[in-house]
Structure 1
Amino acid sequence: MLENGVQLTPASTSNSTGKTRNNGKELNGSASTEEEEKRQGNAGDAQPPASTCTTCAKGHTCQAVVSRTREMRSLIDAKKSHQAQALFGHLADEGHRPSLVTYTTLLTAVTNQRAFEAIPSLLAGIDAAGLRPDAIFFNALINSFVEAGRMGEATSTFWKMSRHHPGCRPTISTFNTLIKGFGIA
């Protein structure tokens, strides 16, 4: 799925170290099986890549995903968020499954570009991949809503994080981001 120059596709369930970072529940809290994930493809309406990386297909994060995520982070740090978004698209086009770390990095790029209208599609891609966001992702999402001046959504995301994702607890960064948002509002 392509929205505002951002290619959104399913992600694997491993972080950059290859250890499982998220599994079991989708962002909306419903369980998803591996078979459902395979049937759903790329966020429902997009077609999966013709060839998939064998490492990514096994549910692991391959070295290409790790290195491209680092490259995306470097591009963001160099104020080249648009190029980071393009790199995400190339990663998916090449048959790799971006990790939750990659999606979090993409969310940072979207926030830096102030392309907030792409957030729902990004969330749909994470849901379609069957990923369960962690505190780092939720903090980035809350920050996006704060930067967009959408404090209602930031607060709603905070409560969703606290109530619907056991083991995903707000951090000091979560509270600092909310305080920043209420100070701006």
Structure 2
Amino acid sequence: MGSVFTSSYASAAVFVFVLLGGPAHAETPEIMMAMCRSKAHEALKVRMPEIDTKYEGQRTDGSHAVNGTAFTPSGERTFQCSFNKAGSKITNFVVNKTTAPAQSQGATPSRDEQACLQAVSTTTNNGDVATLRVETSEANTTVIVGVGPKRAPWKCLASKGVVAEVMSITDEGRL
């Protein structure tokens, strides 16, 4: 019976140690993205639904990188969070210059961009839409579309001109 107690005690001690941030495990990318998003919310005074983060991976020195974008009516603010090796603490937070919303340069939008502009316009019942940002990957093209005069951000995923998803990045619903 004594060994059961010792084993249970040891398990409880490990559990408490892990809860208190001991090095028994590294934080998950989701937790690091949430911590970075919260830091950006505090530093940039931007509402949480208007902040996107992406885990970029572990660097050769063992630290972790999370990049993000805060969408504002006046433009986008990009930022980076560096985490310690355990991923439990932000060791560096950098905010880049504001970039103005994307403006059409007279170039014809891609099939995915056109499909997303149409889908967001239809979803919001608002024809005043403009592309704020386009990111391409092997799987999908992500198009951030601004709606209305304040350019409320909407996120659209498309591939080969077919829209897979349309969602508001704000919590205000249809605009």
TM over 0.5: no
Query: TM-score if structure 2 supplies the norm length?
Result: 0.28
Higher normalized helix content (fraction of residues): 1
Please identify the structure whose Cα radius of gyration is greater. Answer: 2
Q: Relative CO higher for 1 or 2, CA cutoff 8 Å, sep ≥ 6? A: 1
Question: How does the TM-score come out when normalised to structure 1?
Answer: 0.27
Higher strand content, 1 or 2: 2
